[in-house]
Every structure is written in C-alpha cells, then in structure tokens.
Amino acid sequence: MSSLHHLVREPKIKKDKSPLLLLIHGYGSNEEDLFSFAGELPGEYYVISVRAPYDLMYGSYAWYAINFDADQNKFSDYVQARQSRDLLLRFIDEAIATYPVDADEITLIGFSQGTILSYAVALSYPEKIKRVGALSGYLSMEILADDYAENDFSNLKMFISHGTADQVIPVDWARKAPAILNDLGIENVYHEYPIGHGVSPKNFYDLKDWLQST
C-alpha cells in the first residue's frame, strides 16, 4: 500500500474480517493526531490513520490548500479537494485488499478538514461507507460528485459534533448539515458542546457510544 502513509492499530478482538475505522486528520496536522486515541476506540475495529498528501512542512499536512486574499478571506482549492476525495477512495480499496477488513463495515472518522473530506467520500460513494463520524467540520457541496443526489444512501449513518465556541469553523456552518442529510434520507445525530475547535471527553464518549450502538 503506497498511496497514503498511515498508521495501523490491529483489532484487540480478531475476526476473519474486522470492521475498519479510518481516521482522517485536519489541516496542518498529521496521522499521529487522531491516532493518539486509537487505544480508546472499540476493540473489534481495525483502526487506520492516514496522512494527507500535501506537505506543509514541520510535520504538518493538508488534504487541500486554503488560501487567503489581502482582506483575509479564505478560499479552498476545490480541485485538490476532489483529488483527495478520490485518493481516499483508492486508499480504502487498498486497505480492503491488504488488511483483513470487512468491505461492508467501513467507518470514516474525520476532524475539521478531515470531516469535510469524509462527507465528500461518503456522499459521493455511499456504497463504500457505512458510517461517518463528522467532528468539527462542515459539508462542502463543491467537492461532492456531480451526480451524488442520485446515490442510494439507505445504509449510511452519520454522527455530527461541533463546539459552540469554535473559532476556526463557525458552528453555524456545521448546523446546516443535518437538514441536507435529512433531505437525502441519511440517518444522522447532531451534538454540540461548549468548547472550541477540538474534541472534548464528552464528545469522544458520545462518539464511542454511537459507534457501539450502530
């Protein structure tokens, strides 16, 4: 497997085929960030944490560029974002071929920019993904596959969480996702926490409970 550098935690409870949790970090971070809580995730899962392809130097990586103009307005490179969306899809196929994981039990856990990519992969290719944990991100319609609305979303479930004091991605951006998902018939739960751009212990335990209940 060579398309993305990654870390692996094998399941504590071995099966012929294990469910997969794919951890997708945010802008300016790396594969070690979310992997730091891999030991706390349910033991039946294969846990793989991937590194984004764009090197920002000093151990920082991005799934796509975020540029600023003279007035500090932010612009996302949607071409790079769509390329990373499809790179993640290819990586999932590689993981299924390389590790004893169940192709019908793939869960994406994203944070920030990783959440934006997780939404894009799941809505563009729902036949590949069963669950999404969308932490501190938002749904970017610009990077979904052109015909995404024609997909069958009947097996897809999502957990969405956001901090009400998030200074990086405003909570109002996150609040738009449930209505869009409801219109597509996608089962989802939405939680807010009195925190900034991060994951609180309560947030993490709610995510863990959701994983075990679904």
DSSP notation for 129-141: -SEEEEES----G
Evaluate if residue 69 carries a pLDDT over 60: no
Q: How many CB atoms lie within 10 A of CB 148?
A: 16
pLDDT tens sequence across 79-128: 999 999 999 999 999 999 999 999 999 999 999 999 999 999 999 999 99
pLDDT of residue 13: 84
Taking the C-alpha atoms of residue 125 and residue 183, their distance in angstroms, rounded to an integer, is: 17
Average pLDDT of the segment spanning 124-143: 97
Q: Quick one: pLDDT band at residue 214, thresholds 50, 70, 90? A: confident
Average pLDDT of the segment spanning 204-208: 95
- Please state which CATH class domain 6-213 belongs to: alpha beta
Taking the C-alpha atoms of residue 185 and residue 150, their distance in angstroms, rounded to an integer, is: 12
Taking the C-alpha atoms of residue 148 and residue 124, their distance in angstroms, rounded to an integer, is: 5
Spatial contact of 156 and 125, defined as CB atoms under 8 Å apart: no
pLDDT of residue 72: 54
Spatial contact of 22 and 108, defined as CB atoms under 8 Å apart: yes
pLDDT tens sequence across 150-204: 999 999 999 999 999 999 999 999 999 999 999 999 999 999 999 999 999 999 9
- pLDDT averaged over the chain? 93
Q: Quick one: pLDDT band at residue 71, thresholds 50, 70, 90? A: low
Rounded (5°) CA angle 100-105-111: 105
Taking the C-alpha atoms of residue 92 and residue 128, their distance in angstroms, rounded to an integer, is: 8
